[in-house]
Amino acid sequence: MIEISGLKKKFKLSSEYNKKKSHTDPRERDGYFHSVEDVNLRCGEGEVLGLLGPNGAGKTTTLRMLSTALVPDEGTITIAGKDIVKKPLLGRKAIGFLSGSTGLYGRLTAKENVEYFAKLHGLKGRALQARCDELFQTLEMETFLDKRAENLSTGMKQKTNIARAVVHEPDVVVLDEPTTGLDIMTTQTVISFIRRLKEQGTPVIFSTHHLDEVALLCDRVSVIDKGYTCFDGTVEGFKQQGQSEELNQAFLNLLTGEHRV
């Protein structure tokens, strides 16, 4: 179980920006941009949660705090009851994190990249080899394992990044738009892998702009808008609060409403 409660994060605005006479975004105040005002969500064992929100809503800042790359100004993030804000090293061990900006070492092969991160997490010997072989087969990576990362296609890089992110068998997996820019076949491989994580009981949080992926995969949905959580619950609850059986319309209805959790 992962649970986020009362998360807040603000960033200081530049002095030049503060000289502007008008600030159209209500989150720009007191010399700060309040990127995340009050975010709350939870994802239990064997659940997949879809993190939704328009561009600039605060999703990326939330995920960066979840990854321990940023420290919240307020709020808690707990995994299996352990506060990873207070103990970020526990969080880094417990979370498998993939963001759109995650990079690979270009001069290393796909195989070498995954093995390198496995070793950083303490895997070695037969355990390392068995885990890597399992991931290479599951993600259908056998045909490009010996290619340098700098020469891989977008889909090959994403598969390698996913393998790198989960090689240590984390307690929670967080994926930031994992299918963006991928072809249909690679997207299907990623979707199948998320389903496999779900079957293994691993909580998965993934942000997406594709509501069809939510319909395929998710047990829960969390929607962030203007720095606030405006929904966190089941997919059926999402449809009910959004007053539509069609997910895209339910999403739009939630954003134009006054709902907050």
Q: In CATH, which of 1.10.645.10, 3.40.50.300, 2.40.50.1020, 3.40.190.10 is domain 2-102+170-256?
A: 3.40.50.300
**Residue 16 confidence class, pLDDT cut points 50, 70, 90:** confident
Higher confidence at residue 18 or residue 233?
Answer: 233
Global confidence as pTM: 0.89
* The pLDDT of residue 260: 45
**To the nearest whole number, what is the mean pLDDT of the chain?**
92
201 has pLDDT over 90? yes
DSSP-derived secondary structure for the chain: -EEEEEEEEEEEPPHHHHT-S---STTEETTEEEEEEEEEEEE-TT-EEEEE--TTSSHHHHHHHHTTSS--SEEEEEETTEETTT-HHHHHHHEEEE-TT----TTSBHHHHHHHHHHHTT--HHHHHHHHHHHHHHTT-GGGTTSBGGG--HHHHHHHHHHHHHTT--SEEEEESTTTT--HHHHHHHHHHHHHHHHTT--EEEE-S-HHHHHHH-SEEEEEETTEEEEEEEHHHHHHHTT-SSHHHHHHHHHHS----
pLDDT in tens, 65-109: 999 999 999 999 999 999 999 999 999 999 999 886 667 999 999
- Domain boundaries along the sequence of the chain: 2-102+170-256
* The pLDDT of residue 194: 93
* The pLDDT of residue 143: 96
